[in-house]
Structure 1
Amino acid sequence: MNKLMKKTGLSATAALIALAGWAQSSSTVPEGWHLKDLKTDGYYGISLDKAYDFLKSKNRKSTPVTVGIVDSGIDTTHEDLKSVLWVNAGETPGNGIDDDHDGYIDDVHGWNFLGSRDGKENVTKDSYEAARVYWGLKSKYENKTASQVPAAEKDQYDMWVRAKGEVFKDDGSQDEFILRSMDLLRKGDGTIRFDMKKEVYSGKDLSGYNPTTPNAAQMKSFLLNVCQANDNNDITNKELFDQMDNDVQKINNRKQPPKDYRDPVVKDNYNDINDKNYGNNNLTVDENAPLHGTHVAGIIGAARNNGVGMDGVADNVRIMSVRAVPDGDEHDKDIAEGIRFAVDHGARVINMSFGKAYSPEKKWVDDAVKYAVKKGVLLVHAAGNDNQNNDSTYNFPSAYYLDKTRPATWITVGASGPNEQSGIAASFSNYGKKEVDVFAPGVRIYSTLPLGNRYGNEQGTSMASPVVAGIAALVMSYYPDLSAAQVKEIIEKSVVKPTVLVTNPGTGAKVHLSDLCVTGGIVNAYEAVKLADTYKAKGGSARPAPSPSPVKKQAPKKH
């Protein structure tokens, strides 16, 4: 998973060297600004209240829509999420039996493709795909030129050369400084944890802390600087050191192959895409692993109008958790199997807030996407947070198949900010006049967090994608006869197009938003439901009927 998509957008190495960040000047925006309306509230939100008022005026009734979230997992005990979780009606919770004969035991709320079959071990951290590709193919292509490689291997060779450049893009001159600085910061962190009697603390917690050692003072100053650079005082020491560990891993990748985190735990035959019945039903794993997925889930469908926390976009949604994305780069097989699991279990929308620059088994993912398209599922993917042009760089899973054709029910989403002052196009967002379809709110998005019914702000295209997935679920819920292709068309045709120029995240030039994405606009729920109200279903049912279940479905268990 791209580090900027994963959590806060902080880069520990960059901060160590220059204390640089990509802050958006948006600290004064209200919680939930992404749901507000430009005309009445002054923010480029999705006008959600107006959307529900319109649906009420039309006396539209909703039906449940299942959204699959392929991500890091979800805190299934969260007060704002537990009532909206998808429940597999064919499973009896906790009986250790594959009641519905789908190959997954007790898959009540989803499935974890990053765990051992016995549930005792789970993958939370993984290596980077560039290192896996480089070291995995090194013996095959080292010291070879392109002219010495068979034509059938040209794409693989080109990928290896690109990965080698990625692994060795830094000359190592800063390695010693970075490692020494990290050691001092860890010592300071140990002192702070002892003084505060807290293992995990945030920049907010440090505001009243008086350091008792020079190293503690250095750690406090460093974390506060990173929080300031990222405009987010909720960044924790754990998130910071997780990123530092990732940076150390990249330093080590220049010297030795990356550690195999996945295979000793999962123990499938990774080279066989048909070996799919692996993993377990643990969707939370621990208190930290599901931060990203829990935040995404809340944006889509946190229980509305229940008097706690915040409101999700869709009001009649069932959240299905598919855990396939670790801290590090996801594996193509897990993504492909995750997509298929969501499709086979009734998801009409799949949110994918992850990405990487290499996809050695892209065909597996392409085949899974084609399967989802055939079954009438809408796939929503985050564009990435490297302020790069996706038209000319690599970001997988991509909006195109290997044969250069494009999935009919796929939307790629860039991130937008709350107003002109903060930047309508988020400064970190990837973009692309061909590859990115729409922009959606992705700066300082308030949503659910794991570990104790918490809430907080995160930002990235990871947050923009579920805004679009939520709108898709909303439209499908109130207009159930519309196909996924029609819903995609509605979302894209109903965008709000800024009349002012925006800043290109990559070049800094002032451009029209139409230069950064296909539609030139920001998604809007109100405009979407208004447009949906004028549509008629094409070709009968919105989605092909699922295959008959081999066993009779049971009534959902209350728990």
Structure 2
Amino acid sequence: MKHLLITIIFIFSVKAAVYAQASPPRDWHMLDFVQDHVYGISVEKAYQTLLKDKHSTPVLVAVIDGGIDTLHEDLRSVLWHNPREKNNGMDNDGNGYKADIYGWNFLGNRNNVNTNVVEDSEESQRIYFQYKARFENISPSALKTRHDQDLYGMWSKSKQLISDKVTEDGKKFDAWFKKFQYYNSFLSKNLGKEEYTIGELINYDPINTEAREMKSGFLSLTHGSPSKYTNKQLYLIVARRYKHYLKSGPKFPDNAPVDFRSPIIKDDENNLSDRYYGNNNVRAEKCDHGTHVSGIIAADRNNGLGIKGIADNVKIMMVRAVPDGDEHDKDIACAIRYAVDNGAQIINMSFGKSISPGRQWVEDAIRYAEKKNVLIVKAAGNDGINIDSLAVFPTAAYLDGPRKAANVITVGASSASFNDNKLIAPFSNYGKANVDVFAPGVNIYSTVEGGNTYKAMSGTSMACPVVTGLAALLKSYYPKLSAVQIKKIIEASVFKIDQPVMKPGTDEEVPMSDLAKTGGIVNAYNALLLAQRLK
């Protein structure tokens, strides 16, 4: 029963990172609107025409993420192998990171490659409990220094974020339970029995579309439940939980979150100079996300297996710094610098959070990348919010003024179809000033952990590597282009959307130019045409 309860709770409380949608063509994000009638990025069209018989040069792309399956059939040939390391367990290249063959793991124990941070808490909870004793009974007017005022502001924002999440989780649970009741009632009538097992439901062949939707909906709500469990057993479990929720209401956490990081990494997290920590295990556990992102960018296009990545001459450097939870700013700052120092020309960052206590460290690392001509592509986030008003970190905006990092491109997610004006993914963040472009991010089919395994995922985490792949393609065929030039080409060559689109999280139709600076979806064919004229 314990496993079943955890499964059910997970369904409504999981952090919004990936979303299941109705399946378009498997490789829709590679296709062309005119030829294929989906809003892909026209990259296959570009290969068949503009790039035919053209020479490319290798490009090194760093993926800062949660790890990669180094044994995957579609990725083995595109993994970066540090040319200065001999795979003998030593730090042959003297960069401070011992045996960093495929990249580096900033979430690992330095003495044991099998001991790694896999999950972590949310930054808002970490900040709230860190400063709770200091600020919970104090008036903001009593704070005299700018430093204390800034800390209080961050603590107060963390408190509000937790409160909002608790309330939202309660609403989700309420809606989830009502949907459970509705599906169950419908299916009981259609099956002609009050009690049925999950196994019986799986084998049930619905006679019409509505029944198929009810079956699919109920199975998605109870995903992972053993086939022998009955609908009545499940109902008793969730009804007990729902009764408790109604009695106690949404509950603000009483205790500080578990410290997952410190006991494993054993660094001084408050000292950025202490940066030679971690281990070389870039695979670790739960590496689906990073493997999926990497496949979108660079899965082997010539091996006849699985899928084709967007870029055809890329090596992937994995820098593991993103756990299942909120990343720590020190790890991200170190990861960016590691990627730059070891030759990455483009960095993919499919992660983000609402609070950034080490924002300056990350900002300095982004400036460092800019100085070294490295392009950073980052996901806009999956909260369905306007990030012009509510920032998601890391951000291209600098703390010390209106200037933004010229080497950062921020990506929202679009879908395959224009039906019902839902071209923009309903979960995608947006912002006329702080989202640069949209790219396919719904049901993107790519590599996942398992050696020869693939599946579709959705999120701005998937839209981000679509743009990274395009950037790598431009750099590969036009190697003299700078990071800033590539960004400008991608922005100037978007497929403009003139019809109104639905603003995420609302029923409001708006011009797409209200949701992103360029008002369009990235397009490889257009970008390569523009790059050819500028070379």
TM-score range, shorter chain: 0.7 to 0.9
Residues 206 and 220 of structure 1 are in contact (CA less than 8 Å); yes or no, is this contact kept in structure 2? Answer: no
Q: 1:277-302 deviations in whole A, cap 9, x for unaligned?
A: 0000111113xx10000000000000
Q: 1:321-348 deviations in whole A, cap 9, x for unaligned?
A: 0000000100000000000111011111
Task: Say whether residues 1:397 and 2:394 are aligned partners.
Answer: yes
1:465 to 1:25, Cα distance in 2 relative to 1, 3 A: closer
CA distance in 2, matches of 1:207, 1:450: 26
Q: Post-superposition shift, 1:155?
A: 1.9
Structure 2 unaligned regions, length at least 5: 1-6, 181-197, 206-214, 224-240
Superposition pairs for residues 146-161 of structure 1, below 5 Å? 146-152=140-146, 153-161=148-156
- Partner amino acid for 2:434? E
CA distance in 2, matches of 1:490, 1:55: 16
1:476 to 1:258, Cα distance in 2 relative to 1, 3 A: same
Aligned mate of 2:82, from 74, 80, 88:
88
Q: 1:529-552 deviations in whole A, cap 9, x for unaligned?
A: 11000113xxxxxxxxxxxxxxxx
Aligned residue number for residue 420 of structure 1: 418
Aligned mate of 1:112, from 100, 105, 118:
105
Q: Post-superposition shift, 1:356?
A: 0.4
- Partner amino acid for 2:65? D
Residues 21 and 226 of structure 1 are in contact (CA less than 8 Å); yes or no, is this contact kept in structure 2? Answer: no
Q: Post-superposition shift, 1:204?
A: 12
Aligned residue number for residue 444 of structure 1: 443
Aligned mate of 2:127, from 133, 140, 143:
133
Aligned residue number for residue 326 of structure 2: 329
1:275 to 1:317, Cα distance in 2 relative to 1, 3 A: same
Aligned residue number for residue 228 of structure 2: none
Aligned mate of 1:380, from 374, 377, 380:
377
Q: Post-superposition shift, 1:53?
A: 2.8
1:92 to 1:207, Cα distance in 2 relative to 1, 3 A: farther
CA distance in 2, matches of 1:263, 1:22: 28
- Partner amino acid for 2:473? L
- Partner amino acid for 1:225? L
- Partner amino acid for 1:50? K
CA distance in 2, matches of 1:204, 1:458: 26
Aligned residue number for residue 60 of structure 1: 54
Task: Say whether residues 1:72 and 2:71 are aligned partners.
Answer: no
CA distance in 2, matches of 1:456, 1:205: 26
Aligned residue number for residue 301 of structure 1: 298
CA distance in 2, matches of 1:22, 1:340: 28
Q: Post-superposition shift, 1:86?
A: 0.7
Task: Say whether residues 1:169 and 2:164 are aligned partners.
Answer: yes
Residues 351 and 465 of structure 1 are in contact (CA less than 8 Å); yes or no, is this contact kept in structure 2? Answer: yes
Residues 324 and 338 of structure 1 are in contact (CA less than 8 Å); yes or no, is this contact kept in structure 2? Answer: yes
Aligned residue number for residue 195 of structure 2: none
> How much identity, in percent, do the aligned residues show?
50
Aligned mate of 1:48, from 43, 56, 64:
43
Task: Say whether residues 1:35 and 2:30 are aligned partners.
Answer: yes
Task: Say whether residues 1:369 and 2:363 are aligned partners.
Answer: no
CA distance in 2, matches of 1:204, 1:425: 37
Q: Post-superposition shift, 1:507?
A: 2.7
SS for the counterpart of 2:64 is strand
CA distance in 2, matches of 1:474, 1:266: 36
Aligned mate of 1:225, from 193, 217, 221:
221
- Partner amino acid for 2:336? I
Aligned-residue RMSD, C-alpha: 3.2
1:23 to 1:151, Cα distance in 2 relative to 1, 3 A: same
Aligned residue number for residue 408 of structure 2: 410
Aligned residue number for residue 241 of structure 1: none
Q: Post-superposition shift, 1:56?
A: 3.3
Q: Post-superposition shift, 1:511?
A: 1.1
1:208 to 1:308, Cα distance in 2 relative to 1, 3 A: farther
- Partner amino acid for 2:410? T
Structure 1 unaligned regions, length at least 5: 1-10, 186-202, 211-218, 228-243, 537-559
1:174 to 1:482, Cα distance in 2 relative to 1, 3 A: closer
Residues 266 and 278 of structure 1 are in contact (CA less than 8 Å); yes or no, is this contact kept in structure 2? Answer: yes
Residues 19 and 458 of structure 2 are in contact (CA less than 8 Å); yes or no, is this contact kept in structure 1? Answer: no
CA distance in 1, matches of 2:297, 2:199: 27
Aligned residue number for residue 348 of structure 1: 345
Structure number with larger C-alpha Rg: 2
Q: Post-superposition shift, 1:143?
A: 1.1
- TM-score where L is the length of structure 1: 0.79
SS for the counterpart of 1:440 is strand
- Partner amino acid for 2:38? Y
Residues 21 and 442 of structure 2 are in contact (CA less than 8 Å); yes or no, is this contact kept in structure 1? Answer: no
1:379 to 1:172, Cα distance in 2 relative to 1, 3 A: closer
Residues 75 and 450 of structure 1 are in contact (CA less than 8 Å); yes or no, is this contact kept in structure 2? Answer: yes
Residues 290 and 450 of structure 1 are in contact (CA less than 8 Å); yes or no, is this contact kept in structure 2? Answer: yes
CA distance in 2, matches of 1:412, 1:21: 16
CA distance in 2, matches of 1:285, 1:166: 30
Q: Post-superposition shift, 1:50?
A: 1.8
Q: Post-superposition shift, 1:253?
A: 6.7
1:80 to 1:271, Cα distance in 2 relative to 1, 3 A: same
**After alignment, is 343-352 or 152-161 more displaced?**
152-161
Q: 1:20-58 deviations in whole A, cap 9, x for unaligned?
A: 99978643x11010000000000000101221233335x
1:173 to 1:86, Cα distance in 2 relative to 1, 3 A: closer
- Partner amino acid for 1:124? V
CA distance in 1, matches of 2:251, 2:116: 23
Aligned residue number for residue 512 of structure 1: 511
Q: Post-superposition shift, 1:79?
A: 0.2
Residues 389 and 506 of structure 1 are in contact (CA less than 8 Å); yes or no, is this contact kept in structure 2? Answer: no
Residues 17 and 459 of structure 2 are in contact (CA less than 8 Å); yes or no, is this contact kept in structure 1? Answer: no
Q: 1:141-185 deviations in whole A, cap 9, x for unaligned?
A: 12112211124122221110111122233668988x979x99xx9
Residues 166 and 252 of structure 2 are in contact (CA less than 8 Å); yes or no, is this contact kept in structure 1? Answer: no
Aligned residue number for residue 311 of structure 2: 314
Aligned residue number for residue 542 of structure 1: none
Residues 86 and 99 of structure 2 are in contact (CA less than 8 Å); yes or no, is this contact kept in structure 1? Answer: yes
Aligned residue number for residue 239 of structure 1: none
SS for the counterpart of 2:164 is coil
Aligned residue number for residue 471 of structure 1: 470
